Amino acid sequence: MSGKGIRIEGLRKRYGEGDTAVNALKGVDMQVAPGEVVGLIGPSGSGKSTLLKCLGAVIDPTAGRMTLGEEVIYDDGWKVRDLRALRRDKIGFVFQAPYLIPFLDVTDNVALLPMLAGVANGESRAKALELLTALDVQHRARAMPSQLSGGEQQRVAIARGLVNRPPVILADEPTAPLDSERAMAVIRILNDMARKFETAIIVVTHDEKIIPTFKRIYHIRDGVTHEEAGEGREFE
């Protein structure tokens, strides 16, 4: 792989100490190239959320190595001083539920992140509109979240995940509440966005509708991953 994207080597996470310690990740290897969308699949308790939280710098791994672009961000300890800035600028999150802020309109829901990163309000709104346009919800820009359909809300949530142009997107069950057609629309959008912005995207899912779309899949079981070719089925 080139110097971009994300790479994880021998990642370990232990919760707790002594007799009650849980080894949730036992040496995970994974790499996702820019522009690539990979699936992460595994049974409940296999370590999916723990892996996403380590990748998102929400919790501390116990050992191993993570490289983002050309930067080693973790090597048996964080190599980045400002983890808040890492989370804000380098990692986009898309959750199962959109978690839009109910008292902000669609544009401000998306513009909030660049505003928090210190970008001027006008420029933040312009960035938000650009993403909303790419996701084909620009006509809802002044609507409140409660006025949107479920599919529209999820597209706004994806716009918010992408607005700071993070090199990595972590999506946790992004299609779970959606019907088949809308789920495929979300996957198509994630693939388009990955290509357009050279984003590396990891999708945790057990949604049978979307699993055949991945070209590569990481299976995780008991804290260990193994890679497998997916069907990579076209979805036009």
Ligand X SMILES: Nc1ncnc2c1ncn2[C@@H]1O[C@H](COP(=O)(O)OP(=O)(O)O)[C@@H](O)[C@H]1O
CB 33 within 8 A of CB 1: yes
Task: Draw the binding track, 49-68, toward Mg ion (x: CB under 5 A; -: no contact).
Answer: x-------------------
CA distance 178 to 22: 34
Binding-site member from 11, 30, 41, 50 for ligand X (CB under 6 A): 50
Binding-site member from 34, 47, 167, 230 for ligand X (CB under 6 A): 47
Give percent helix, percent strand, percent coil of the chain, each to the nearest 5. Answer: 35, 25, 35
Phi then psi dihedrals of residue 72, to 5 deg: -75, 115
CB of 190 to ligand X, least distance (A): 20
146 binds, among ligand X, Mg ion, none (CB under 5 to 8 A by kind): none
Site for ligand X in 6-35 (CB under 6 A): 15-16, 22, 24
CB 75 within 8 A of CB 7: no
The region of 40-48, 65-73, 77-85, 186-194 touching ligand X under the rule CB under 6 A is: 40-48
Regarding 230 and contact with ligand X (CB under 6 A), the answer is: no
H or E element at residue 89: helix 83-90
Show the beta-strand stretches assigned E in 91-150: 91-94
3-state secondary structure 12-75: EEEECCHHHCEEEEEEEEEEECCCCEEEEECCCCCCHHHHHHHHCCCCCCCEEEEEECCEEEEE
179 vs 227 by CB, closer to ligand X: 227
User: Would you say the C-alpha torsion 59, 62, 68, 71 has a positive or negative sign?
Assistant: positive
Regarding 96 and contact with Mg ion (CB under 5 A), the answer is: no
In a 3-state reduction of DSSP, which class is residue 129?
helix
Regarding 45 and contact with ligand X (CB under 6 A), the answer is: yes
> Based on the number of CB atoms within 10 Å of its own CB, is 91 exposed (0-12), middle (13-18) or buried (19 or more)?
buried
Regarding 42 and contact with ligand X (CB under 6 A), the answer is: yes
The region of 46-54, 124-132, 137-145, 187-195 touching Mg ion under the rule CB under 5 A is: 46-54
The region of 47-55, 78-86, 150-158, 186-194 touching ligand X under the rule CB under 6 A is: 47-55
2 binds, among Mg ion, ligand X, none (CB under 5 to 8 A by kind): none
The region of 48-56, 75-83, 124-132, 218-226 touching Mg ion under the rule CB under 5 A is: 48-56
Binding-site member from 46, 107, 124, 205 for ligand X (CB under 6 A): 46
Binding site for ligand X (CB under 6 A): 15-16, 22, 24, 42, 44-50
